[in-house]
């Protein structure tokens, strides 16, 4: 049956239930039987993002078909249409755990029941050799699907059950099937295990999913994930390098047995966690019965540090892309003080800055997270801001530069870059006061700030004098701007200077636009289009 507007296959579409980067889920009704389902459809972004998102979408159908457990939302039908692949799932009447937790934390017993349901579902997947790899509140539904009394849990008979969904990032261990390059992390930072954050996809085990359940259980009881931060990069750095706050410090009402279970789940070393979700489920049953769990005492939540001084940098780089493997041993934090970890991360960032700016930005986030008081921290902030600026994240760049205090030697550079960022946005009113503050003194940045102000006010002689002996990509950009705006300027020189700025500095979009405009003025239409 062909799809038409408002219908996909044999299903009439209803309200949208959820949306992610690569899929949309609708409430739908089978036009023949009248059965209501949740219909998951590949999004336009998935169809335009190359083959991997659609391969993952189809792979999810295959993996879930192989699982038969009441706690896993089953696939009922699947197909392909003009809108791409789709599949129909059992409809759960309820809401995602994420929506529940937005309102308030849960009583510890209810949190334990939900975690127990999820662990039981994962145990079935692990028994078939399937890792979920993305256990998080958004992939857990709390409600009822038909007659849900067949779901084995310890909740009261009238309580809603928890159901695990979204196997789009799952890995089939027996076949080794995966759609992930080794060295690339998959998952959600708040619930990602350290080995996932390191990108060591070849060594993932069921203990990876155990970490995810532990992180979700921690959040249900404590009201926040075990690691949080302002950016995904900061969160991942903490996952790799730091210890979570002990659960009972945030939730004193939680029993000690539950805290021991959570601590075991969140051990940095996979071997120190429960070996699989079945073992975790059994311990959660013990906690619910008031018995002592079998978790080995208070698990040691140590920093993940590898056997060489540079390994923390490699671990962080692996989260950012294919640049390393996971760590091999885990000494106590005292063996690797935070500054040395920070320096290693920053050194790795410098090494990959030109070829992998996103990776370098993440490495520097890790350096700042583990060495905020390091003497080089402000220099790292300057560099990270430049990387973000080049990736078109102007607000992120400004946020980094704003954190450099006026008392720091780097303050003049931070002011100059903030002003220059405003120039790129054509915000002259915002740029001028920043550049005026940066222009005080005789530092390199002060001279560049005076040159920028001269260009903005069309004082060409002053601008040329300030830039006569200036070096660096910033000076090249300003010289290009000068020759571009000056009615008597050297247009070929503007193209060359813009090119030098792009070759040495961040790939700023507005500089590319300016260079294209100059090439067009010189009759180089092909160069302008490029």
- Which residues are the active-site residues? 134
Q: How far is it, in rounded angstroms, from Cα 364 to Cα 382?
A: 10
Q: How far is CA 350 from CA 323, 504, 530, in A?
A: 14, 14, 29
CB 123 within 8 A of CB 274: no
C-beta atoms surrounding 256 within 10 Å: 13
CB 345 within 8 A of CB 372: no
CB 26 within 8 A of CB 38: yes
Q: How far is it, in rounded angstroms, from Cα 105 to Cα 525?
A: 60
Distance of CA 500 to the CA centre of its chain: 32
Report the b/e string of 483-511 with b at 16+ CB within 10 A. Answer: bbebeebeeeebbbbbbbbbeebbebeeb
Q: How far is CA 40 from CA 49, 136, 289, 390, in A?
A: 18, 19, 38, 36
Check the CA dihedral 333-337-342-347 and report its sign.
negative
Q: How far is it, in rounded angstroms, from Cα 315 to Cα 198?
A: 5
- At 473, which helix (H) or strand (E)? helix 473-485
């Amino acid at each position: 049956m062909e799809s038409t507007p408002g219908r996909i296959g044999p299903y009439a579409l209803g309200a949208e239930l959820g949306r992610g980067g690569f899929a949309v889920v609708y409430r739908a009704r089978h036009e023949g039987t009248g059965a209501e389902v949740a219909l998951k459809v590949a999004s336009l972004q998935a169809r335009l993002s190359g083959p991997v998102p659609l391969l993952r979408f189809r792979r999810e159908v295959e993996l879930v078909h192989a699982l038969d457990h009441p706690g896993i939302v089953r696939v009922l039908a699947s197909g392909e249409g003009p809108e791409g692949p789709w599949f129909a799932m059992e409809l759960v009447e309820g809401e995602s755990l994420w929506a529940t937790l937005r309102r308030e934390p849960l009583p510890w017993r209810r949190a334990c029941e939900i975690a127990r349901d999820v662990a039981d579902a994962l145990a079935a997947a692990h028994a078939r050799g399937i890792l979920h790899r993305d256990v998080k509140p958004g992939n857990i539904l709390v409600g009822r699907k038909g007659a849900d009394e067949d779901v084995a849990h310890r909740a009261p008979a009238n309580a809603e059950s928890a159901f695990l969904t979204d196997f789009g990032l799952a890995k089939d261990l027996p076949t080794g099937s995966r759609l992930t390059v080794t060295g690339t992390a998959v998952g959600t930072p708040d619930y990602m295990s350290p080995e996932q954050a390191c990108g060591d996809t070849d060594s993932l085990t069921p203990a990876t999913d155990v970490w995810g359940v532990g992180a979700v259980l921690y959040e249900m009881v404590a009201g926040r994930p075990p690691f949080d931060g302002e950016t995904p990069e900061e969160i991942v750095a903490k996952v790799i390098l730091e210890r979570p706050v002990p659960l009972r410090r945030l939730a004193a009402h939680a029993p000690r047995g539950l805290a021991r279970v959570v601590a075991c789940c969140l051990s940095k070393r996979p071997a120190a966690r429960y070996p699989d979700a079945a073992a975790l489920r059994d311990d959660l049953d013990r906690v619910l019965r008031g018995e002592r769990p079998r978790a080995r005492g208070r698990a040691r939540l140590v920093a993940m540090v590898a056997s060489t001084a540079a390994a923390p940098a490699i671990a962080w780089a692996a989260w950012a892309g294919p640049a390393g493997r996971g760590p091999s041993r885990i000494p106590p934090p005292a063996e690797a003080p935070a500054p040395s970890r920070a320096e290693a991360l920053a050194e790795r960032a410098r090494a990959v800055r030109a070829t992998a700016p996103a990776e370098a930005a993440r490495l520097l986030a890790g350096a700042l997270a583990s060495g905020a008081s390091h003497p080089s921290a402000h220099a790292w902030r300057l560099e990270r801001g430049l990387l973000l600026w080049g990736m078109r994240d102007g607000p992120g760049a400004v946020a980094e530069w704003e954190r450099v205090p006026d008392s720091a030697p780097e303050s003049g550079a931070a002011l100059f870059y903030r002003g220059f960022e405003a120039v790129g946005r054509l915000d002259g009113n915002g740029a001028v006061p920043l550049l005026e503050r940066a222009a005080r003194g005789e530092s390199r940045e002060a001279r560049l700030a005076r040159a920028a102000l001269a260009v903005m006010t069309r004082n060409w002689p002053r601008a040329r004098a300030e830039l006569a002996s200036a070096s660096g990509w910033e000076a090249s950009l300003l010289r290009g701007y000068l020759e571009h705006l000056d009615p008597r300027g050297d247009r070929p020189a503007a193209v060359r200077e813009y090119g030098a700025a792009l070759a040495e500095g961040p790939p700023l979009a507005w500089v590319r636009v300016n260079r294209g405009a100059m090439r067009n003025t010189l009759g180089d239409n092909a160069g302008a289009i490029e």
